[in-house]
Amino acid sequence: MSNLSELLPSGGGQNVVSMTATGAITEGQPVALKSDGTVTTISATGASNAQSLTYADKEVYESSQAYNNKTAYGNGSFVTLYTDNGNSNYWTAVAGTVDSSGNITLGTPLVLHSSGGSYNQGDIIYHPTSQKFVAVWSRQSGSNYGKVITASGTSLSAGSIADIETSDTTGAYSIQLEYDSNIDRVIALLDCNGTMKPKILEVSGTSINKTDATTFSLGFSSQQASYLASCFDTDTNQVILAYRMDASTIRAYALTFTTSDVSVGTATDVSDGSCGYLSLTYDTSQNKALLIYLSFDGSDTSGVVYTVSGTGLTAGSVTQLTTDNMEFSDTLYNPDSNVTVLSGRNDTQSGYLYSMSVSISGTTPVVDNFGAVDGSTTVRETGHAYDTVNQYIIAAFRDDSNSDYGTAITYKPHGTVAGTNVADCIGIASAAIANSAAGNINVFGGIATSSSFVETTYTGTAGSEAVFETAEVE
């Protein structure tokens, strides 16, 4: 028999309670109370894996050619970063919201930099501590810049422009951003002609404070399509970086950041011929990273699982995921169903927007479902984010079938149906919480703090019909 007061730990204020996590919990994720007083994620069953994908809504956010199209979600809004070909390729951002039915509401685009951009050289990420977004981009005439973006619903504002890397005369060929929760910094990874130039970015109000980390060679010395991919390992607090080093090799590193520098681990190479469109996620349920890419030589889409050990990586065997060619694709980790979701252009299927759900079994990636999101829209340059509240994927892309307009679409990924512990849901995590760490939960309802109350003893089991015994406290 457990007292309810024993299961609700001390430290709450209003509807916010500090609780310990069992398993990693992402910001905005619903949580369930366990019998030991900790909280865990609401599990999702795989029943929906047999269902077809149907998009909920599709809206145009830019009525001209939109390139790059990177998207991030946080604090109830998604923000898409892109270059507007109809406005001198200026770097631009637009905010949107999604309701419980997947309907999209868009705001007015905001020009971030009145200078021409470069193809596929920018990224955006949500910074949960400040509840703001950070965008970093390069421009055709050289140098790389960034801004802090504030989104309120569909409204946007941006801080002053920051010089991220101005010594690069051609602009970074590829840019990746990761949020390092261990040091509360955004990590910017810039490929500048074969030299990795990592930047440690602190969000201070609406400004960026930049620290230059030690540079290192990527193994080539000329501008080439390296297809940088990255993710953050929440268990070892390392950034995992993967890229195409040459025509036959994918190289990966584990990078450990402090607030002042970076330590580079041992390189791990995978050989699979010429490849491209690399994307990387970290599966918190398996404590492993998953790389998905297009094999140009094999004309298929493949995956590799990385296991982190210290500052090194061990790569599993290359696994063919589909014989279809997935191009201009992007991946994210869905914490509600513990799968990686890839979406992008299926060049084998007329260039239509397709989605794939991939889980990890041991050191092998396993395709749970693969199918069309929209079998009438041809796409390029897809970036997507996951609305953790309404459980919709938001994909932003250049719509080949509609004059290359910037377009956003929402759909429910496979595996996002209520799990067995949904009845135990007590609230939502206000920020990411690592396994066994304490963090704030926005609980439903309120918590009585009065010293005079009726003590309630819960005599049922979690998820069953509630049975309480009460006794008045003198």
Query: What's the pLDDT score for residue 23?
Result: 67
**pLDDT higher for 41 or 258?**
258
Residue 12, pLDDT above cutoff 50: no
pLDDT tens-place string over residues 188-204: 999 988 899 999 999 99
Query: What's the pLDDT score for residue 56?
Result: 95
32 touches 426 (CB < 8 A): yes
**pLDDT higher for 463 or 160?**
160
- Six-digit token string for 281: 């996620």
pLDDT tens-place string over residues 246-289: 888 999 999 999 999 999 999 999 988 788 899 999 999 999 99
Residue 113, pLDDT above cutoff 70: yes
**pLDDT higher for 464 or 111?**
111
Distance CA 284, CA 301 (A): 23
281 touches 333 (CB < 8 A): yes
Distance CA 7, CA 418 (A): 23
Give which of 336, 426, 465, 452 is closest to 389, Cα–Cα. 336
pLDDT tens-place string over residues 355-375: 999 999 999 999 998 999 988
Q: Ranked by mean pLDDT, which of 67-81, 295-309, 375-389 comes out on top?
A: 67-81
